[in-house]
Amino acid sequence: MRIAFIGGGHMTTSLIGGLRSGGLPASDITVADPVAGQLERLRREFGVQVTDDNMAAASGADLIVLAVKPQDMATATRSLAAAGDSRRVVLSIAAGIRLANLATWLGSHVPVVRAMPNRPALIGAGITAACAGAGVSETERARAEWVLAAAGQVVWLDDESQMDAVTAVSGSGPAYFFLLIEAIEDAGVSLGLPRGTARLLAVHTALGAGRMAAESGELPAQLREQVTSTGGTTAAALAVLDSADFRGLVQRAIMAAARRSTELARDFGKG
């Protein structure tokens, strides 16, 4: 399968890295970007074809990945629409760009998949939510999933309206965990630990907890209860978090992110 990436940033890098590791020949990948240094980096690292011309990159591609900034999406898609070739599935990984916007800019006859990857995709540990536009075949959906799976797990949504929630939960989500790691590290330092030691403890505790949640088959609540002895140290810490309405705070934060996602989508769709 020949793949064209329009935009050569971090997510493009992570997807190409995964695809190349999975055996896709470099000759089957072309990247278009206006920044010469970006193109040279990708050519040098992965051996892929590069160009500063979107139309040239898309020519002959079976799948086109739109990885430009949301504010640049209208211009990029309209240049592709001028080619008049509707046989290729288009996969958008730009935040906040609705399927309806893409259909307007590309043409309603073009099969489009919208996806929201997250930052850990850069190390192959991402989670991506995707939704398919009208007219996308099972084969086209499978092609899009194969590309996205190069950077981690993929889940499909039945309703695009859920994408703002996905953006708030997993798109922005890594930042919440990074903040928690920062806070635990700082607390360890305040208790007398060297910063390097506190950071190592915090990071690997987060890593281990995440792996247990992913691999144990048990609910997070069950895992939490297994660590929490009545009257013990963990119970004392959790009591403080409960008294500060930790769950409510997290929910309000994620709802704020979802609202902002809706606002940005409205703004980007005006292009």
Domains of the chain as residue ranges with CATH: 3-162 (3.40.50.720), 173-263 (1.10.3730.10)
Tell which phi-psi region holds residue 228, choosing left (phi > 0), alpha (psi between -120 and 50) or beta: beta
Q: Exposed, middle or buried by CB within 10 Å (0-12, 13-18, 19+), for 13? A: buried
Q: What share of the chain is helix, strand, coil (3-state, %, to 5)?
A: 60, 15, 25
Per-residue model confidence (pLDDT) at position 86: 59
The answer to whether the beta carbons of residues 46 and 19 sit under 8 Å apart is no
Q: Supply the pTM of this predicted model.
A: 0.90
Per-residue model confidence (pLDDT) at position 271: 61
Is 12 strand, coil or helix?
Answer: helix
The DSSP H or E segment spanning 222 is: helix 220-227
Which residue is associated with the tokens 């640049």?
72
User: What 3 state SS string does 102-162 have?
Assistant: HHHHHCCCCCEEEEECCHHHHHCCEEEEEEECCCCCHHHHHHHHHHHHHHEEEEECCCHHH
User: In terms of residues, how long is the chain?
Assistant: 271
- pLDDT tens for the chain, 271 residues long, are 899 999 999 999 999 999 999 999 999 999 999 999 999 999 999 999 999 999 999 988 999 999 999 889 988 898 888 765 556 899 999 888 999 999 999 988 899 999 999 999 989 999 999 999 988 999 999 999 999 999 999 999 999 999 999 999 999 999 999 999 999 999 999 999 999 999 999 999 999 999 999 999 999 999 999 999 999 999 999 999 999 999 999 999 999 999 999 998 888 877 6
The token pair that represents 37 in the structure block: 């240094």
Per-residue model confidence (pLDDT) at position 83: 64
For residue 76, give the nearest of 271, 213, 238 by alpha carbon: 271
**What single-letter amino acid sits at 101?**
N
- What is the spatial order of strands in the sheet that 112-116 belongs to? 49-51, 29-32, 3-6, 63-66, 89-92, 112-116, 126-132, 152-156
Sign of the Cα torsion 85, 89, 95, 96 reads positive
